[in-house]
Amino acid sequence: ARPDGVIISSIFIFCVLTLSAISRFFRATEIRIEEITFVDEASAQLWPLISGKKCHLVPLKPNAATECYTLKKREIEILYKITEPVAFVQVHLLDNRSDFFSPLKIKITRHNSDFIVHVQGAVAVANSLAYLSELLDPISIFLGLTRRNLMLQALKYLLWGEGEVGLVVYAILLRYWKWTPEDDVRPRIFLLSD
């Protein structure tokens, strides 16, 4: 028996997997969002209150307890001397993350003088945060670092859209800013150790 069929199919499978990995690697730092829609009219009315250098952007894990907002804000106020409101962002991922482009659904609520932005329908946390930061144009962005193995975090991000979000958001924004005017005022980015 001749193993030609097995060899040819193995080469084909290897080529497909290699091209898929290369494509995923290069597309990982794209914004990859089609559009946003607001879940309700109240969210649409709150959007102008947080966009255009009116607040700071602070991502938190989905389903964070209410106390987390107050503690995180207090920590940032003490360390960075901010006085403006904070928009806490929680990104909820889709179950099926194989699509590269997805529309995001935004729900905004108030929390004392701050805001909570729930983002539904994301395929990757970092890409959604980068896109949202470009739309909101915050004063600054406070991104957490996981303090875990960077190689494992990069692999986790490439495979599942999770992982070391802070550094990936920064990389996505750097790539995006190459195409924007130099005089565009960009937000300050702070990387915080969790």
For the chain, domain boundaries: 31-193
Which residues face 91 on adjacent strands? Answer: 119
The CATH class for the domain spanning 31-193 reads alpha beta
Q: Kindly give, in sequence order, each residue whose CB lies less than 8 Å from that of residue 123, ignoring residues fewer than 6 positions away.
A: 32, 93, 94, 97, 98, 99, 100, 101, 102, 161
Q: Looking at residues 107-127, what average pLDDT do you find?
A: 92
Distance CA 107, CA 127 (A): 18
Q: Of 117 and 156, which is predicted with more confidence?
A: 117
Q: Which residue has the higher pLDDT, 132 or 67?
A: 132
User: What value does the mean pLDDT take over residues 138-142?
Assistant: 96
| pLDDT tens digits, one per residue of 15-71 | 998 888 787 777 777 777 888 999 999 999 999 999 999 999 999 988 888 888 999
pTM: 0.81
pLDDT at 190 exceeding the cut of 90: yes
Contact 130, 167 (CB under 8 A): no
